[in-house]
């Protein structure tokens, strides 16, 4: 019986060259496939035929969305970046969040969430005096406490409060305003403005013009001071039949007030009220 011939193994360098050739051929095929897919993805047949808008469209018309978002969209159904599409719609004024989806075969579905304005916003200028009203350009705060830019003329008919504080404090200030406003319902006056200094001192201004210095402290401490004020100030103003000009709630055992037409100077004097002075 004839013995079988044993196969001679290939030299290592030949095996290496064969493996390298296989890798190069595979890479070339993948490159060709990628170029082919890219070409197919850009064919006009895959162009978007319609954009479906859902969700909040109170502040934006179809014309506004076309003018602001469409110029930033590029690509076809297969090639467009959904992330880029999302950013294009979120750059439209009043749009807080956008969700972008492809709908086979040639539609784009966009779901919008708009900002709901809750207050005007002014960022306190760093280094300004504690009582200074110096601030940057005005913006808006939404219901989440986020600052955003929009045309202020769009909300001129809405009775929004004004918040002014350091950058990054808008959410805390909106929450504080909501708590203070809820606690002030018995006064028959609305808190029109709330200020927070860089050192953490709070001041509020009522719609009728009275200014209250709340000072520093936690929310609960400030609300306790304010509650004490609300529970007694109407008795004082009723007694003297005049309006409140200002109050300082930073005292440990009470607060000091200034009433319109009331003075502590010798001419004239209305007895029984300490610490009040007349505004010129």
Q: What is the pLDDT of residues 11-28, one digit of tens each?
A: 776 767 777 777 777 777
Residue given tokens 């009728």 in the structure block? 208
Q: How many CB atoms lie within 10 A of CB 230?
A: 16
pLDDT number for residue 164: 97
Q: Which is it for strands 139-142 and 117-123: parallel, antiparallel or unpaired?
A: antiparallel
pLDDT digits (tens, 9 = 90+) for 37-84: 555 445 555 577 888 999 988 998 888 888 889 898 888 888 889 999
Q: What DSSP string runs through 2-45?
A: PPPPPPPPPPHHHHHHHHHHHHHHHHHHHHHHHHHHHHHHTSGG
Mean pLDDT within 232-243: 92
pLDDT number for residue 24: 76
pLDDT number for residue 30: 75
pLDDT number for residue 42: 55
Cβ-based neighbours of 72, under 8 Å, separated by 6 or more: 84, 87, 88, 91
pLDDT number for residue 116: 96
Mean pLDDT within 145-170: 95
Cβ-based neighbours of 63, under 8 Å, separated by 6 or more: none
Please tell me whether the overall predicted TM-score, pTM, comes out greater than 0.85 for this model: no
Instruction: Using the predicted structure, report yes or no on whether residue 152 has a pLDDT greater than 60.
Output: yes
pLDDT number for residue 1: 47
Cα–Cα distance, 247 to 164 (Å, whole number): 20
Instruction: Using the predicted structure, report yes or no on whether residue 119 has a pLDDT greater than 90.
Output: yes
Q: Binning pLDDT at 50, 70 and 90, where does residue 272 land?
A: very low
pLDDT number for residue 265: 56
Mean pLDDT within 77-100: 92
Looking at mean pLDDT, say which of 18-22, 155-159, 204-208 comes out highest: 204-208
> Which domains does the chain show, CATH number per domain?
47-114 (3.10.20.310), 117-259 (3.40.50.11690)
Instruction: Using the predicted structure, report yes or no on whether residue 160 has a pLDDT greater than 90.
Output: yes
pLDDT number for residue 36: 57
pLDDT number for residue 79: 82
pLDDT number for residue 40: 46
Q: Cα dist. 12→18, 23, 175 in Å?
A: 10, 17, 74
Mean pLDDT within 139-151: 96
69 alpha carbon, distance to own chain's centre: 20
pLDDT number for residue 198: 92
Instruction: Using the predicted structure, report yes or no on whether residue 270 has a pLDDT greater than 50.
Output: no
Question: Left if phi > 0, otherwise alpha if psi is -120 to 50, otherwise beta: which for 84?
Answer: alpha
pLDDT number for residue 269: 40
Token reading at 239? 């007694």
């Amino acid at each position: 019986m004839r013995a079988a011939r044993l196969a001679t193994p290939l030299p290592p360098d030949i095996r290496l060259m064969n493996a390298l050739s296989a890798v190069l051929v595979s890479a070339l095929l993948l490159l060709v496939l990628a170029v082919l897919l890219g070409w197919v993805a850009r064919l006009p047949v895959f162009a978007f035929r319609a954009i479906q808008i859902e969700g909040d469209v109170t502040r934006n018309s179809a014309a506004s969305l076309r003018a602001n978002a469409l110029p930033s969209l590029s690509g076809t159904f297969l090639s467009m970046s959904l992330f880029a599409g999302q950013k294009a719609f979120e750059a439209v004024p009043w749009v807080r969040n956008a969700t972008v989806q492809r709908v086979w075969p040639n539609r784009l579905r966009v779901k919008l969430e708009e900002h709901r304005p809750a207050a005007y916003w002014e960022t306190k200028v760093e280094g300004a005096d504690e009582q200074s009203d110096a601030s940057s350009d005005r913006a808006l705060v939404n219901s989440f406490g986020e600052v955003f830019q929009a045309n202020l003329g769009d909300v001129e008919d809405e009775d929004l409060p004004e918040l002014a504080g350091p950058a990054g404090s808008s959410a805390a200030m909106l929450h504080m305003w909501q708590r203070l406003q809820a606690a002030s319902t018995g006064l028959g006056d609305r808190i029109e403005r709330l200020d927070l200094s860089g050192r953490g001192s709070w001041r509020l201004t009522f719609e009728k013009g009275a200014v209250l210095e709340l000072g520093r402290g936690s929310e609960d401490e400030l609300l306790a001071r304010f509650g004490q004020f609300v529970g007694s100030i109407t008795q004082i103003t009723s007694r003297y039949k005049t309006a409140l000009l200002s109050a300082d709630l930073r005292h440990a055992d009470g607060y000091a007030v200034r009433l319109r037409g009331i003075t502590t100077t010798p001419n004239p004097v209305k007895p029984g009220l300490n610490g009040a002075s007349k505004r010129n």
